[in-house]
């Protein structure tokens, strides 16, 4: 082989190696990474604490963070179901299932976004709502929820015949159902202030609702929960009445319920009679109704005995003069100018003793038709003496769900 041929092969090899090296070097510093090799950053809205089913979600319970690589496949499948990455996106939204902390929130985990049921839709047929403000210690620490069945007790101080500032407590509304709490149609999971009463709205018949509304300024209410074993029977009877009312057919008389206990029981028949009398009579609720509920025996006031009077007839010769009438205290009470006036005066004195006793001349308007007087007032809360140098204890709070 000639030397020129070997030289040409060497030159060709060197040129080729130089070209390959130059190409690699230029591609390394000249061109960026290929499109699609870097994935874009995605922000999602997640829960920053555990959220229970049925509770209203508040913006403070969520946060925005970057989507994790392990969550990307699910995000690509259900992109349209993810909420916008802003905290206000959960405003007025209710959890449809339990949502764990640091979990992205999707629309299929929430209840439909719509207005909640109003009070009329929540009421059973022939029932009425009544709002009660109850202290925490009188409502099982404020932990009662919407849908719970309770007995409503009423505490007051009674003054009347045979009673003086007598504190008493009575079952005012048996078997009532809570339909609202905190004066809102949406469930809330947050702390309750210990120094303020908790508003509850219960469902009961017309008579009991009217009595509660009348008695709210004369005493205090307390709610006592009914066990679940008894509440199931009441809830079942209520559901049957609700289903019957939703049908187009006329509601049968047995579904005109005044309570959801056994309709054949004596207690139900007695309550039914009370409600019918209240509705048909149209009489207002007054202290006499509370007197009957507390089983206070009426005591008729006996009329005062007729006063003893002394009459002196005066004559001047054969002519009749003015008569002089003296009371039992020997005081001159009347002088009649003639016999007719004397008879009228005598009849007035003997028939109306109040003319001689001004203390009984006017009747107390608070007396009812039975002639008895009972007064009801709220119990006086105990006063806590403050010692100098001591700071008041901080008000305790309790956290409870409304549902």
Strand partners, 166: 158
Residues 106, 107, 109, CA angle at the centre, nearest 5°? 75
pLDDT in tens, 309-345: 777 787 777 788 777 777 777 677 766 554 554 455 5
Measured between alpha carbons, how far is 134 from 224 in angstroms, rounded to an integer? 11
| Consecutive H or E run containing 11 | helix 3-30
CA distances from 130 to 173, 180, 193, 208, 213 (A): 11, 10, 22, 9, 7
Residues 19-23, mean pLDDT to the nearest whole number: 71
| Consecutive H or E run containing 232 | helix 228-246
Measured between alpha carbons, how far is 234 from 265 in angstroms, rounded to an integer? 14
Model pLDDT, residue 232: 95
* 60 phi, psi to nearest 5 deg: -70, -10
pLDDT in tens, 84-96: 999 999 999 999 9
Question: What is the number of alpha carbons within 13 Å of residue 38 lying toward its C-beta?
Answer: 6
What percent of the chain is modeled with pLDDT above 70?
76
Instruction: Give the number of other CB atoms < 10 A from CB of residue 198.
Output: 23
Residues 134-140, mean pLDDT to the nearest whole number: 93
Q: Indicate the pTM of the whole model.
A: 0.66
Model pLDDT, residue 393: 45
Residues 389-399, mean pLDDT to the nearest whole number: 48
- Do residues 74 and 112 touch, judged by C-beta distance below 8 A? no
3-class SS at 399?
A: strand
Residues 50, 51, 56, CA angle at the centre, nearest 5°? 155
Measured between alpha carbons, how far is 357 from 333 in angstroms, rounded to an integer? 11
Q: Which is nearest to 368 in space by CA: 298, 276, 275?
A: 298
CA 209 distance to own-chain centroid: 13
> Could you tell me how many residues make up the chain?
403
CA 35 distance to own-chain centroid: 61
Q: Strands 163-181, 149-160: parallel, antiparallel or unpaired by DSSP? A: antiparallel
Residue 132: pLDDT band (50, 70, 90) is: very high
pLDDT in tens, 340-370: 544 555 555 445 544 444 444 444 444 444 4
Model pLDDT, residue 49: 94
Q: Which is nearest to 293 in space by CA: 126, 151, 164, 168?
A: 168
3-class SS at 39?
A: coil
308, two tokens: 């003893």
* 173 phi, psi to nearest 5 deg: -135, 105
Model pLDDT, residue 369: 44
Measured between alpha carbons, how far is 392 from 144 in angstroms, rounded to an integer? 28
Model pLDDT, residue 30: 52
pLDDT in tens, 246-279: 876 565 555 578 999 999 999 999 999 999 999 9
Q: Strands 62-66, 43-47: parallel, antiparallel or unpaired by DSSP? A: antiparallel
Residue 35: pLDDT band (50, 70, 90) is: low
Residues 145-174, mean pLDDT to the nearest whole number: 93
Residue 192: pLDDT band (50, 70, 90) is: confident
Residues 56, 50, 122, CA angle at the centre, nearest 5°? 25
CATH topology of domain 43-109: Type Iii Antifreeze Protein Isoform Hplc 12 (3.90.1210)
- The whole-chain average pLDDT of the chain stands at 81
pLDDT in tens, 105-126: 999 999 999 888 899 999 999 9
Measured between alpha carbons, how far is 304 from 326 in angstroms, rounded to an integer? 19
Model pLDDT, residue 38: 63
Q: Which residue has the higher pLDDT, 74 or 389?
A: 74
Which sequence spans correspond to the domains of the chain? 43-109, 119-293, 310-353
What percent of the chain is modeled with pLDDT above 90?
49
Model pLDDT, residue 370: 46
3-class SS at 179?
A: strand
Q: Which is nearest to 403 in space by CA: 216, 179, 202?
A: 179
Q: Which is nearest to 177 in space by CA: 108, 236, 251, 111?
A: 236
């Amino acid at each position: 082989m000639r030397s020129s041929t070997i030289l040409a092969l060497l030159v060709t090899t060197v040129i080729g190696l130089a070209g390959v090296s130059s190409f690699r070097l230029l591609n390394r510093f000249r061109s960026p990474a290929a499109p699609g090799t870097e994935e874009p950053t995605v922000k999602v809205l997640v829960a920053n604490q555990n959220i229970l089913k049925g509770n209203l979600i508040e913006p403070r319970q969520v946060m925005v963070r970057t989507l994790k690589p392990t969550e990307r496949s699910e995000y690509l499948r259900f992109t349209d179901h993810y909420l916008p990455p802003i905290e206000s996106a959960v405003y007025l939204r209710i959890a449809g299932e339990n949502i764990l902390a640091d979990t992205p929130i999707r629309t299929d985990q929430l209840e439909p976004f719509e207005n909640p049921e109003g009070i009329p839709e929540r009421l059973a047929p022939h029932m009425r709502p009544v709002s009660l403000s109850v202290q925490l210690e009188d409502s099982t620490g404020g932990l009662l929820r919407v849908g719970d069945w309770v007995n409503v007790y009423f505490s007051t101080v009674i003054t009347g015949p045979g009673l003086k500032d007598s504190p008493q407590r009575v079952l005012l509304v048996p078997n009532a159902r809570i339909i609202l709490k905190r004066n809102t149609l949406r469930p809330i999971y947050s702390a309750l202030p210990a120094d303020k009463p908790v508003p509850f709205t219960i469902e009961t018949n017309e008579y009991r609702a009217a009595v509660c509304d009348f008695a709210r300024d004369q005493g205090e209410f307390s709610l006592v929960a009914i066990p679940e074993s008894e509440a199931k029977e009441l809830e079942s009877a209520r559901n049957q009445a609700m289903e019957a009312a939703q049908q187009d057919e006329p509601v049968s008389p047995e579904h005109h319920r005044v309570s959801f206990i056994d309709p054949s029981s004596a207690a139900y028949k007695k309550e039914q009679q009370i409600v019918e009398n209240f509705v048909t009579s149209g009489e207002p609720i007054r202290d006499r109704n509370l007197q009957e509920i507390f089983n206070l025996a009426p005591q008729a006031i006996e009329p005062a005995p007729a006063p003893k009077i002394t009459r002196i007839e005066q004559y001047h010769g054969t002519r009749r003069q003015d008569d002089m009438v003296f009371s039992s205290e020997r005081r001159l009470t009347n002088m009649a100018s003639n016999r007719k006036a004397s008879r009228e005066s005598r009849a007035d004195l003997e028939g109306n003793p109040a003319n001689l006793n001004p203390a009984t001349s006017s009747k107390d308007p608070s007396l009812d038709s039975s002639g008895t007087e009972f007064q009801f007032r709220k119990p006086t809360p105990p006063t806590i003496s403050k010692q100098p140098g001591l700071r008041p204890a901080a008000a305790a709070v309790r956290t409870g769900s409304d549902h």
